[in-house]
Amino acid sequence: MALQFIGIDPNTGDGESPTVWVDQQQQELVLQGWKPSPQLEAECAAFEVPGHAVGIPEHEIVIRIPARMVHMIREACDALERSDVA
């Protein structure tokens, strides 16, 4: 997997580094973010989406990304759309 670095939270301090990458080969965004509070994770797990089981599957995780990184996520989406990997 060859990751393309897009950006890191501009307010990063010691021990905090929400980050955005693109995996062109897998055609995926790769995000590093903060762990949710137990309350937020429980709220997400309880959210009902038609056609889906309630809960968070064992192979998935909820993360938090600061809104100030939206432009990086847009840039990552644009990079995937420009990719010639199908």
List the one residue out of 28, 33, 32 whose CA is nearest residue 1: 28
CA 48/CA 28 separation, integer angstroms: 25
List the one residue out of 79, 59, 69 whose CA is nearest residue 2: 79
Contact between 85 and 28 under an 8 Å Cβ cutoff? The reply is no
* Tens-place pLDDT, residues 27-79: 999 999 999 999 999 999 999 989 989 999 999 999 999 999 999 999 999 99
The reported pTM is 0.82
